[in-house]
Amino acid sequence: MFDILMYLYESYWHPEACPEFGQLTRKLSAAGFENDDIHEALDWLRGLDSAVGGLGTQQQQSPHAIRLYAQQELDCLGLEAIGYLNFLETAGVLKPHLRELTIERALATGMQPLPLEHLKTIVLMIFWRLDEEPDALILDELFVEADDRVVH
C-alpha cells in the first residue's frame, strides 16, 4: 500500500491531477501493482478524503493543551513515531488538527507498530491531499533516511 501512496505522490504533483479511482485502478495495475494492494491503498485514500472533508468542523486547540495517547494509539505509533509527530508539531509544520488526522490515518492502516517511514508517507499524503507543500527542510526530513544524512 505504501509503495502505491508514494507512487501517487511522485506521479501526481497535485491531487486534482490524480484520475478518478476507476481509471487510477487501471493505471496502477498497468504500472505493476497487485490488485489487493491497489484496493487497500484506494480504500485508505477514500478514508483520507472523508477525513479531510470533516476538517472544517475541528475546534481550535489551546496552545497549552497536551496530547495524551490512548493505548491503541501507542501500540500503533510507538514512541519513535510519537516523538516525530511532536517534532513536526513543535516545528510548526503539523497543526493539531493535522496531527489528529495523521493519527487517525495511521490507525486505519491496521499496522502495529507502524514503521516511522510509513508515518512519514502518511504525513506526505495528507499534505498532498490538502494541496499544501511543507517547508523544503521538512520535505527533506520526510524523504531522507536518517542513516543517509550527511552531518555538516
Any idea what DSSP says for residue 71? H
Q: What is the pLDDT of residue 148?
A: 46
User: How many other CB atoms are there within 10 angstroms of residue 115's CB atom?
Assistant: 13
Q: What is the pLDDT of residue 150?
A: 40
Residue whose C-alpha cell reads 476507476 in the numeric block: 22
Residue count of the chain: 152
Question: 91 falls in which pLDDT band (50, 70, 90)?
Answer: confident
Cα 40 to Cα 43: distance, rounded to the nearest angstrom: 5
Distance of CA 124 to CAs 6, 26, 102, 131, 140, Å?
A: 9, 23, 10, 10, 11
pTM, rounded to two decimals: 0.85
User: Which of 19-33, 88-102, 126-140 bottoms out in mean pLDDT, i.e. has the lowest?
Assistant: 126-140
